[in-house]
Amino acid sequence: MTTRTKPIPDGYHTATPYLVITNAGQAIEFYKEAFGATESMRLAAPDGKVMHAEIMIGDSPIMLCDECPDWNAFSPQTIGGTAVSIVLYVEDVDGVVERAVAAGAKLLMPVEDQFWGDRMGTVADPFGHKWSIATHKEDVTPEEINTRAKALFGTA
């Protein structure tokens, strides 16, 4: 009798971010300090760089590595920015954003209540990745979100 291997390993989700970073070792320490991350594994390349690492933030795994031009893996700092923002839900958005900024993140959007029911702020970590950090405060229907958006943007 053969046992079927699960297509999604235990502890992972269908989509898992994989961050390419200029200094992955420093980034892991930043994520520990700013977001309470725990390091699950780290695999060093022969040159000592991080070939692959995994951290957990809350119940979500995040994979990361040092940039490696040979693998066509470039960090936001090398390519001049990122078009991706990772949404991080936390219990205390104000405290986490404050902690992230104290640890070296740049505040991009201050924490404010949003029309879709979240209290949210956005930071860029010292390695160029954007994090939209939020606490869900109110359950809002899609219809109400649309109504609030129209009122906010003057299209109601």
Which tens digit of pLDDT belongs to each residue from 88-131?
Answer: 999 999 999 999 999 999 999 999 999 999 999 999 999 999 99
Has residue 115 been placed in a domain? yes
Has residue 30 been placed in a domain? yes
User: How distant is the alpha carbon of residue 86 from its chain centre?
Assistant: 4
State which residues form the domain around 88: 18-152
Q: Work out the percent of the chain whose per-residue pLDDT is above 90.
A: 94
Exposed e or buried b per residue across 7-43, where buried means at least 16 C-beta atoms within 10 angstroms of its C-beta: eeeeeeeeeeeebbbbbbbebbebbeebbebeeeebe
In three-state secondary structure terms, 30 is: helix
Task: Tell me the per-residue pLDDT of 66-90, one tens digit each, with 9 for 90 and over.
Answer: 999 999 999 999 999 999 999 999 9
pTM of the model: 0.91
- Total domains, the chain: 1
In three-state secondary structure terms, 76 is: helix
CATH of the domain at 51: 3.10.180.10
Helix (H) or strand (E) holding 53: strand 50-57
Has residue 9 been placed in a domain? no
